[in-house]
Structure 1
Amino acid sequence: MRKPSGSADRSDFRQVRLLPQQSQEALALSAEAGWNQTAEDWRIMLQHGSGVGFRNRQGELVASIVSLPYGNVDWIAMLLTRRDSRGAGLGTRLFDIALDTVRKSGRGAALDATPLGKPIYERHGFHSVTVLRRMELRTPAETHGAAHGIQAVEAPHTAALAELDTGVLGLDRRWLIAELVRQPQLVMLTDVSDPDSLLALRRGRIAYQLGPLYAGSPESAMRLTAAAMATSAEQPLFVDVPERQAEYLGRLASLGFREQREFTRMALSHTTCTGRPEAFYAMAGPEFG
């Protein structure tokens, strides 16, 4: 029988390394929290990153954290504790493990924080970089045919896409772009009139995730968004937008998108990510940044 929430003790759990073949177990944690990740997202993270968790006495996975290598920066994500195992400090312990690894390596660290997590990360030396608004479309909006000049991107162009991604975000995510391009259900688009443009649309557990989205102007961003909406098969759609992109946010609202929640992008004080924020219109989800 499971203990009531808040009665767990650290001695009830053992620390474990998380492996790609455990992605279905990990999915149960993020699904309980209502998050949008899929088992394939977990496989990608655990194959390329470092995952740590805790199992209870019954051998069930009850807590997790993942660190993803983005060049000289570790992206920290998927800090989760199952409801019936909270109160034993598992999340705090996992975050300490991730930070200890970062500090010993001399690397930087960044993450996307919920409002509840933000003050905790601030106490650990993280500072705010930008605020992102999760915009959600539940009722399909009408689209007016294919957007002129929008075309699909094929796998052979992965190197160019990775170069664009690095230039905009200031993070080296070549392995992630290569993984995304190989996903059979992924839609990746570009605006032929905009050399700075890229949009990825992938199926999540509860909604499509639109992002990353890079563009040279709000007009280009909207052309790509309209094309993605026409592709999403009338399913719910999430797009996480930096608040500095006020014009794009306004246009999304006019199409029926509503703000669901916010994230704060945060980084340790010594972390440097020199990119081009003016071209950054949407992230790839808080798991990937």
Structure 2
Amino acid sequence: MADTEPVAIVELGVNDAPGGFALSTEARWNQNEADWRFFLTNGIVFGVRDGTHLVATAALLPYSAGNAWISMVLVTERWRRRGIATRLVDACLDAARQRGLTTWLDATPAGATVYGPLGFAPTLQLRRLRLEHSTHATSTTLANFDIDTFSARDRRAMGFERNALLAEFGARTGSRVVSCGNAMALVRDGRIARHIGPLFADSAADALMLANAISQSESGPLLIDAIASQEQFIVGLTGAGWNIERPFQRMRFGRATAQSEELPFAVAGPEFG
């Protein structure tokens, strides 16, 4: 299709999960096909096709208390620099306005320069860290934790509930909700690495003890999206062999609808908040 031809934005369905997965795989993101099915089943996902081939996406995932997350803004290489990503985000914002939703997103530094002029305001910052192989041993024992108690703590951290998301995560093959002392975290599969988060704790020392215990119980690479202001936790992770891959900027469009009661140490991921 020529650059000058109009681009039609369509709403996608669950059968588009393989096409969305192909786009995030091209971008070398960590989402798996189960993540795409969740977005397409529980959210509003817009896309652009070249014939039957999906070439761009953006998703709006509603949560409770008038909140929603925008993510999965992807355009295949050949279709970039045509303004498609901006149009897809506008479609998500229009859908959110129609439903009275405050929208959030976690942007890369390049993305933040695009979303700022659209009206998004920065809130907190994240740091994505990766661990290839654990560099130290620990004798800490992990305990399994129930998803309802975990969801209640997530609600205090977010200011709104995400029970459907966390229950779906917890029910997936390979997922674990684990605790160590008063720290707790969810561990789940990704395409290229297992992901830790959300992670809650009463102190950085407790959060680090849990992260270390998880790393010792896992055999493959791990990712974690830590809150940047939890500096002691991040320093502890890097000292244990984790490497900072990239920053993310959390941004909000519209007024805050709820106040969080605690700051987590790590989040569910930039695509989920």
- The two structures have a TM-score, normalised by structure 1, of 0.89
Name the counterpart of 2:156: 167
Alignment of 1:184-263 (within 5 A): 184-191=173-180, 193-194=181-182, 197-233=183-219, 235-263=220-248
Q: Specify the alignment match of 1:36 in structure 2.
A: 30
Structure 1 portions without partners, runs of 5+: none
Which position in structure 2 is the counterpart of 1:121?
A: 115
* Structure 2 contact 147–177 (Cα < 8 Å) conserved: no
What are the Cα deviations for residues 209-251 of structure 1, in whole angstroms up to 9, with x where unaligned?
Answer: 1111011111221121122102221x22111111110100010
Residue 283 in structure 1 maps to residue 272 in structure 2: no
1:232 aligned partner, one-letter code: E
What SS is found at the alignment partner of 1:285? coil
Note the C-alpha offset of 1:10. 4.6
Work out the percentage of aligned pairs sharing the same amino acid. 32
Matched, 1:151 2:143: yes
Partner of 1:200, secondary structure, is strand
SS class of match (1:95): helix
The separation in 2 between residues aligned to 1:64 and 1:182, in whole angstroms, is: 26
Residue 63 (str. 1) matches residue 56 (str. 2)? yes
Aligned counterpart for 2:76 among listed residues 82, 95, 103 = 82
Residue aligning to 1:21: 15
Letter in 1 for 2:70: I
- Mapped to 2, the partners of 1:125 and 1:32 lie a distance apart of 29
Q: Distance in 1 between matches of 2:260 and 2:5?
A: 41
How many angstroms apart in 2 are the aligned matches of 1:98 and 1:48?
14
Q: Which amino acid aligns with 2:261?
A: R
Name the CA shift for 1:85/1:184 in 2 (closer, same or farther; >3 Å): same
Distance in 2 between residues matched to 1:39 and 1:137, nearest whole Å? 23
For residues 118 and 228 of structure 1, the distance between their equivalents in structure 2, rounded to whole angstroms, comes to: 32
> For residue 44 of structure 2, what is the aligned residue in structure 1?
50
Confirm or deny: 8 A CA contact 2:195 2:224 kept in the other structure.
Answer: yes
2:265 alignment partner, SS class = strand
Aligned alpha-carbon RMSD (Å) = 1.6
Q: Hey, what's the Cα distance between the residues in 2 that align with 1:47 and 1:141?
A: 40
* Unaligned segments of structure 2, at least 5 residues: none
SS state of the match for residue 247, structure 1?
A: helix
Greater shift after overlay, 101-110 or 250-259?
101-110
User: For the Cα contact (< 8 Å) 2:134–2:240, is it kept in 1?
Assistant: no
Residue correspondences, number: 272
Cα distance change on mapping 1:56 and 1:224 into 2, 3 Å: same
Deviation at 1:208, TM superposition (A): 1.4
Query: Structure 1, residues 21-43: CA drift from partner, whole Å, max 9, x if none?
Result: 32111101011111110011111
How far, CA to CA, are the matches of 1:109 and 1:65 in structure 2?
Answer: 13
Q: Does 1:112 align with 2:112?
A: no
1:276, CA displacement in angstroms?
3.0
For 2:155, give the aligned amino acid.
Answer: T
CA distance in 2, matches of 1:23, 1:231: 31
